[in-house]
Copies of this chain bind each other. A is one copy, B any other.
Amino acid sequence: MFVQINWKPDKTVAIPLYLQIKHYIQTKIEDGEWTVGTKIPSQRKLAELFDVNRSTVVLAFDELIADGLLEAKSGKGTKVKNNLWSLFSSTHPTDWNSIVRKGIYQPNLPTIQDIHKVEPLPQFIRLGTGEPSPELFPQEMMTEILHRLSSKIQSLGYEEEKGLLPLREQLSIYLKSIGIQASPSSILVVSGALQALQLISLGLLKRGSNIFLERPSYLSSLNVFQSAAIGLQSISVDSEGFDIQYIKQQKKRQDASLLYTNPTFHNPTGYVMPLESREKLLQVCEDIQLPIVEDDVYRELWLDTPPPVPIKALDKNGTVLYLGSISKSLSPGLRIGWVVGPEPVIDRLADIKMQTDYGASSLSQWAVAEFLSSGFYDLHLEQMRNSLRIRRDLTLKVLEEKFTGIAEWKKPAGGFYIWLRLPSTISIRELFDTALKEGILLNPGNLYDPNSLHHLRLSYSYASKEQLQTGLNRLAEIIRKLLNKS
């Protein structure tokens, strides 16, 4: 008995045919559809079924055999082989996948993984991507920095637990400029702010406890806390910030172990928490003994006036653990972020960091230290703000022209994002799929709030100005079409 095949590779997409075939077969085996011992049709037969050259099938088979998924016996054809790693990787370890996210109604919507898959393909216009455009990369400065480093770096060994001292010294100076007093020993260098979140999840939180966070939130698009069996409990936010009464009431009931906030140019809404709300939030959290994690990775990207000081700058009692990163303001590929907090907490996180990867790249750490000490970073930030302001204003102009009446939004004062509210008759899934077919990659709002089915996260940071214009025009048309249909 041979398996049934009624599938063909898609010749219109950029993925090589043999890879499509390989992945098709792989999925069948991994999903347990084609069990061990299953006979696979001959290469000739498959070439016919798939409507490809035989050599294409051979290529796919070769890799599948190398991976141990298929087994070819001369004269006996090809069979699915017992593959221990694939069996192995499908016995999901208990916790990694036990997602403890509360209030999810719609689990099977387009996921981050789908987006990751499309991102490397250059033909798509990415209207939601949360990183600075390659155009915004300060190439000349980087050239100069690398030249300087080449004479400075004597060796690149394992670093001190908390990271390269010259970098922590520079960060200490930088932090002072935004109102935060921190000696180098209370700063931990991490491989991006995301890693800080992972270290917190591994090192500070009890399994089964909950994190309070804004609704919507960047954190909801991640798995890092859920994987450590920590729940996310999102709390509604208005222009005044968190619903503080709710926090007070619910802290005990929910076994909340910390509050996560991204108060400055919030991802995905662009929101800025007013100074007064920051003070109130800090006060309440001190009162009820709820530590705060303040994620401030967009702080430097203000476009009109500088934002209020960090909550951390108001904190006299070590209530706040503060996260920063150069990913948004300079370059995500350097993978450098920092955590600032009471020294015992920093010590604990540093110890875990050592146990997981022996520290961040020294080369990256040197590069960022040099960016800071040379004054290039400040110079670059100015350029960055100017370019981002142009992009924001362009985006707002197109929205004004093409989206009036079919969407609602607010003007962001900084950061990357516009939180676009669509009519509730639009299916976000259908919109995502239709846009993708027309070459536009979107970030649907439900990534950041599972219950939010009518929002898109737009980003003016990534696509080129031409792409922003074309992409948004096309998006408006698609939305109008979908509206007419419904």
Any B CB within 8 A of the CB of A9: no
CB of A398 within 8 Å of the partner chain: no
Name the 10 nearest CB pairs between A and B, nearest first: A68-B318, A156-B333, A333-B362, A361-B361, A134-B155, A137-B155, A146-B150, A67-B342, A143-B150, A156-B331
Contacts of A82 in B (CB 8 A): 289
User: A334 — which chain B residues lie within 8 A by C-beta?
Assistant: 156, 361-363
Supply 19 A–B pairs (Cβ within 8 Å), ascending by A. A68-B316, A68-B318, A85-B341, A85-B345, A93-B204, A93-B206, A93-B228, A94-B207, A96-B352, A113-B351, A146-B146, A147-B150, A157-B331, A157-B333, A158-B333, A195-B356, A334-B362, A356-B356, A361-B361
At the interface, yes or no: A198 with Cβ under 8 Å from chain B? yes
Also in contact, A85 and B318, with CB within 8 A (given A113-B351, A194-B358): yes
- Among the interface residues A154, A181, A356, which one has the most CB atoms of the partner chain B within 10 A? A356
A191 and B358 CA atoms in complex are apart in Å by 9
Chain B hits for A222, CB < 8 A = 355
Give, as a whole number of angstroms, the nearest-CB distance from A6 to chain B.
24
Please tell me if A74 contacts chain B, counting CB pairs below 8 Å: no
How many residues of A sit at the interface, in one of the four size bands? 35 or more
Copies in the complex: 2
Contacts of A332 in B (CB 8 A): 156-158, 358
Q: How far is the CA of A147 from the CA of B150 in the complex (A)?
A: 7
| A361 to B, closest residue via Cβ | B361
Asked if A381 is at the interface of the complex by the 8 Å CB criterion, the answer is no
A167 contacts the other chain (CB 8 A): no
State whether A67 and B186 are in contact (beta carbons under 8 Å apart), knowing that A93-B207, A142-B150, A334-B362 are contacts in the complex.
Answer: yes
A359 interface residue (CB < 8 Å to B):
yes
Q: How far is the CA of A158 from the CA of B364 in the complex (A)?
A: 14
Contact of A348 among B89, B94, B134, B198 (CB under 8 A): B89
Q: Which residues of B contact A408 (CB under 8 A)?
A: none
Pair A333/B159 contact, Cβ less than 8 Å:
yes
The interface bits of chain A over 146-189 (1 if a CB of B lies within 8 angstroms of the residue's CB, else 0) are: 11011101111111110000000000000000000101011000
Q: CB of A192 within 8 A of chain B?
A: yes
Determine if A78 is an interface residue (Cβ-Cβ < 8 Å): no
A348 / chain B contacts, CB cutoff of 8 Å: 89
